[in-house]
Amino acid sequence: MAVYFIFNALIVIISRKVMFAVTCLVLTLFNCGLDIEAGKLSTLDGGTSHPVPNGNPTTENNLHAIAGMRAFTKEEEAEPRIVGGKEAWPHSWPWQAVLCFADMPACGGAILSQYWIVTASHCFRRYSKESFWSVKAGKHDMENEHESCQQNSKVVKIITHKDFNGITKENDIALLKLQTPLVFDECVRPIPVWSGDLPSLKRCAITGWGSTTESGPRADKLQEANITILEFDTCLKLYGGVIRSSMMCAGQEAGGVDACQGDSGGPLSCFTGERYEVAGIVSWGVGCGRAQKPGVYTRVTFYTEWINSIVDDQLGADVTWKTSTESRKLFPSTKDEVKNCGQAEVKPCRLDQGFVGFESSEPSGELRVANVTEACPHSWPWQVSLQSEELHYCSGTLIDERWVLTARHCRAEAGDMVVLGAHDLMVGSQQVSIKAVYSQPYDGSYPPLHDLTLIYLRVPARLGSSVLPVCIPDEDMTFDQGLSCVVTGWGYKRSTPNLSPDVLHQAQVNPLPEQACWNGWGQVFSSNALLCTQPAASSSCLGDAGAPLLCQKNGQYYLAGMMALGVKRCDQQKPAIFTRLSGFQSWIEKIKNHEGLK
């Protein structure tokens, strides 16, 4: 705890710093206006929110719809635990995160996206090594280590503001990047950054688990309080020249409502009339809840450009996160990015070795696949990995921010994870769970004529340099024999022993004439529903089911085909077969439109 002496007297300024004995988030609380009536909850700003049934995923259509929106689960009614304060309704502040040092609660934070937490720099003044820190989301009861909504992630990057001053508390803001992305549901949601000026005397909410009285014990269950944003001149009058334009005061001049030890870095959440946005970060103050000594908060809007510059500078799945100061959206619009389908920012490379083929391995004579190379990272940004229990089982292809195509025989299920923006599967990437699966019916044919599944993601993918959609061909679009195409995927087969199964690889192919397909498969091959390429490109040779066949036209890559179920063993007499996507455009649009009407 930092102790400062100002105003010609000994006044203990209790910095909301991490303390090992007294850690994680607090409030000297005020009754925040949560009224339970007729099955509804009245929010701080007078709106009503119906409880979300426990365990049911959110039904919002996109992240903008859930960002900053409170959720209420059906749990026991919250009861006042401290004088003038109230326990929060469980999981009703879903962007609240807790930062743990060596597994001990230490500071609060606000969830900005699946990978990013905003908090206070002073939390890391003494201990800034990432391996010491972890983040918990979806928490309510600190005494319950196995809450159903709880999500845990290690911290891989701590970025404190370069101009943070530990004495004056200027620039008291930091960003944390998570190793494992959060999964948004009714208990875990992001919050946008407040845009524009924050009106004085506006009522906002503070939340946390810190001390309930000055130097007292921390709260076990999340607390909430309703406080007022004070005018800047009032803040200057109460604290003098230590107040900067990047700070603001909130509380009551009479005292009694404030953040306290352990609440450092927690959010000051303000209602816009539509949703909550994070306007402040708990920074410092004189004591807790003292008269004429309101809490001082970092003004988050002041750092919007800094947040954007930091996040944009970090490579990986979350590279395109933006805080919007005009539209009040958490993420940027992706409409233009969807229009620019099939155009990767990183150009494909290492495709100059010729078409995929076979070579013999002496002395056994066993077939080996030749001309397969490691892809340049993020040169195929629509490629996704389908995973169950953190194990890759099939590839898929992103066709827009909410939809992925794969092979029906992959048997994808709701609840499985879609990993986007990955190159090496051992490195953390953006993850979104599957909400629904739509498959073409199996007609008993072999090779299957309708080996196709459409996957609906629980939340939209965050598009950026490493995550972009591919183009879907029109029904009249053809891919001729002379066209150069590419097959991409992960996986391992004996025929490709020199390839790492965890690193994305690629092989150049070209569509074969119908006669060549018939020669290998006989009259069961249907050119209306299937394409075929060199045998070495099959899943039994390259090792990845559901891999895409990508062909370039007019500077854009199209998903010409989806690798279909073929032979079990790598066979140089059997051409690789792919479901012809142009024949299923109407079905794809029908399914997408149907889901959109729900």
Are 176 and 109 spatial neighbours (Cβ–Cβ below 8 Å)?
Answer: yes
Cα–Cα dist 232/248, whole Å: 7
Q: What DSSP string runs through 145-202?
A: TT-TT-EEEEEEEEEE-TT--TTT-TT--EEEEESS----SSS----PBP-SPPPTT-
The dihedral built from the CA positions of residue 535, 536, 539 and 544, taken in this order, carries a sign that is negative
Q: Which of 203, 278, 263, 222 is nearest to 86 (CA)?
A: 222
Q: What DSSP string runs through 287-347?
A: SSS-TT--EEEEEGGGGHHHHHHHHHHS-STTTT----SSS--SS---HHHHHTTT--SSP
Print burial letters for 342-370: b (CB count within 10 Å at least 16), e (below 16). bbbeeebeebeeebbbbeeeeeeeebbbb
Q: Could you tell me which residues come within 8 angstroms of residue 409 by beta carbon, excluding any fewer than 6 positions away? A: 448, 451, 545, 564, 565
- Residue type at position 563: M
Q: CA of 399: how far to CAs of 175, 483, 525, 527, 574, in Å?
A: 31, 22, 26, 23, 29
Let me know if 338 is exposed, middle or buried by CB neighbors in 10 A (0-12, 13-18, 19+).
Answer: middle
Let me know if 248 is exposed, middle or buried by CB neighbors in 10 A (0-12, 13-18, 19+).
Answer: buried
Cα–Cα dist 228/209, whole Å: 20
Q: Which among 64, 91, 122, 378 is annotated as catalytic?
A: 122
φ and ψ at residue 317, rounded to 5 degrees: -70, -25
Cα–Cα dist 248/303, whole Å: 13
Determine if the peptide bond prior to 217 is cis (ω within 30°): no
Residues facing 270 on adjacent strands: 204, 277
Q: Which among 134, 153, 195, 264 is annotated as catalytic?
A: 264
CB atoms within 10 A of CB 171: 20
φ and ψ at residue 472, rounded to 5 degrees: -100, 130
**Any catalytic annotation for residue 539?**
no
Are 278 and 193 spatial neighbours (Cβ–Cβ below 8 Å)?
Answer: yes
Cα 542 from chain centre: 30
Q: Between β-strands 151-160 and 133-137, what pairing exists: parallel, antiparallel or unpaired?
A: antiparallel
Are 535 and 321 spatial neighbours (Cβ–Cβ below 8 Å)?
Answer: no
Are 420 and 430 spatial neighbours (Cβ–Cβ below 8 Å)?
Answer: yes
**Any catalytic annotation for residue 264?**
yes
Q: Which among 161, 172, 400, 450 is annotated as catalytic?
A: 172
**Any catalytic annotation for residue 336?**
no
Cα–Cα dist 283/243, whole Å: 12
DSSP symbol at 572: T
Cα–Cα dist 347/486, whole Å: 13
Catalytic residues: 122, 172, 264
